[in-house]
Amino acid sequence: MDLDVFVTAHRAEWDRLEHLLRRGRHLTGAEADELVTLYQRTATHLSLIQTGGQDSLLTARLTQLVARARATVTGARRAGWRDAARFLTESFPAAVYRSRHWWIPAAVLSALLATLIGWWIGTHPEVQATIGAPAELREMTRPGGEYESYYSSHPATSFAAQVWTNNAQAAAVCLVLGAFLGIPVLWILFLNMLNLGIGIGLMSGAGRLDTFLGLVLPHGLLELTAVFVAAGTGLRLGWTVIDPGPRTRRAALAERGRAAVGMAIGLALVLFVSGVIEGFVTPSSLPTWARITIGIAAELAFLVYVYVLGGRAARAGDIGDVEAADRTAELPTAA
């Protein structure tokens, strides 16, 4: 084999492969296919040169080029901690931010529903009578009664763990059942608001609404926000079944489903913080204003996290999905 002729014939291909490798993740679909083709050709060229035992410098260059191309084509993974960092600083907040047009209306309408139910129960003694006997209601709403003792009925650590588990399960159910046109999600939201509304109504009817809010707000702001985010994501997933947009229904559901799985993990972390507040802050001896301040601070921190980090990632194109290399290709690609 005439090495000079061989190099002259194929140098442009090697230079093109090196150029594509420098571009990294910014390749178009056609360029990615071209990279695969050039990688296969260069691997063949390297094999021919190694067989002939000619030009160690050229062999070294092509060996390095083929190794880089192989790592790109086969999708070499980054360290796990970097994936986790990207998820927490980009993917999860971006997913929450992008779904805000679903969970914010869900939050507003749910809060109005809970308030309406609470007003109706609190101003209608006959409705209260259908919930329980007068003695039972007095036991629930009196100082030190069931509503207050609930938060200190178990050791803080085990109580926080129990609350976290229950809320994480509820959020996951909203995300999973969203695929059923979102109907189960609406029912779960209604049940949550009904329970909250009953508490508001009974405690306001007993003249102790301030005590009830002092117990609920420290952890409830962040907890309910997480539930609303889960519900909004579930409703969005359900709407995708009805209207997948310009993509196929399968592709749209796959993308939304992957984002929902990531959302479940992220919300579990948010609910862990809420559970810690409910287990340690809500039943504490801190003054009511201090406990509520902690709850407001946690809520504001989450919103800033979503709107600053999430907004920035969303504007950069992050949709809360896994990285492109980890997705199933929607169209056949060159191999």
**DSSP codes joined into one string, 107-144:** HHHHHHHHHHHHHHHHT-HHHHHHHS-HHHHHHHHSTT
Taking 80 as the threshold, does the pLDDT of residue 153 lie above it?
no
Choose between 335 and 245: higher pLDDT. 245
- Mark which of 46, 74, 102 sits at the end of a domain: 74
Kindly report, residue by residue over 163-198, the tens digit of the pLDDT.
Answer: 667 777 777 788 777 778 788 899 989 998 999 999
Residue 45: inside a domain, yes or no?
Answer: yes
- Mark which of 19, 44, 74 sits at the end of a domain: 74
- Mark which of 74, 90, 109 sits at the end of a domain: 74
User: For the chain, how many structural domains are there in total?
Assistant: 2
Kindly report, residue by residue over 12-46, the tens digit of the pLDDT.
Answer: 998 888 888 887 767 787 888 888 888 888 888 88
pTM of the model: 0.70
* Lookup: tokens for 41: 């050709």
Position 327 confidence tier, pLDDT thresholds 50, 70, 90 = very low
- Sign of the alpha-carbon dihedral angle for 86, 92, 98, 104: negative
Residue 331: inside a domain, yes or no?
Answer: no
Q: Give mean pLDDT, residues 290-312.
A: 96
Kindly report, residue by residue over 72-99, the tens digit of the pLDDT.
Answer: 776 655 546 777 888 899 889 999 999 9
Domain co-membership, 37 together with 87:
no
Percent of the chain with pLDDT over 70: 87
Residue 320: inside a domain, yes or no?
Answer: yes
- Domain of residue 64, residue span: 3-74
Residue 9: the pLDDT is 87
- Residues 224/298, Cβ–Cβ less than 8 Å: no
Q: Is 254 exposed, middle or buried (0-12, 13-18, 19+ CB in 10 A)?
A: middle
Residue 52: the pLDDT is 63
Nearest C-alpha neighbor of 200 from the set 295, 107, 290, 111: 111
Percent of the chain with pLDDT over 90: 35
Residue 328: the pLDDT is 44
Average pLDDT, the chain: 83
**Can you tell me the distance from the alpha carbon of 203 to that of 143, in angstroms, rounded to the nearest whole number?**
11
Taking 90 as the threshold, does the pLDDT of residue 228 lie above it?
yes
Count, residues in the chain:
335
Domain co-membership, 124 together with 230:
yes
Domain co-membership, 89 together with 70:
no
Residue 151: the pLDDT is 73
Residue 325: the pLDDT is 42
Residue 128: the pLDDT is 92
Domain co-membership, 193 together with 273:
yes
